[in-house]
Amino acid sequence: MTQMISGKLEEVIKQAVAAGIPPAVEVRLLWETHEEPNVIAPENAAVIAYLKERLEQALTDPDRIQLAEAELRILHQNLEKNRIEAGESPILTE
């Protein structure tokens, strides 16, 4: 069961990224539509609690998402600059 959920989660995240949708939104939708089994193994309970906490902290405010994306672009630019200065080929593209 856990592998099925894990595989579905990875698939949903990949689809969200490909569609330009913030993965947190897709994960929240997946989570809200998933029915939890009546009996949860202790190791799975910890993972479920962690995921619920992360979903509650997920960025959903468009302004904060834009700020995070801008910070990521700056990080990518700085990484590329460092690679070029080190004589390596750039790997990230805009």
Angle, helix 23-33 to helix 42-57, in steps of 10 degrees: 130
Tens digits of residue pLDDT in 31-67: 666 655 556 777 778 888 888 888 887 777 788 888 8
pLDDT at 86 over 50: yes
Say what the pLDDT of residue 89 is.
87
Distances (CA, A) of 3 to 7, 8, 9, 60: 6, 8, 10, 27
Average pLDDT over residues 2-18: 62
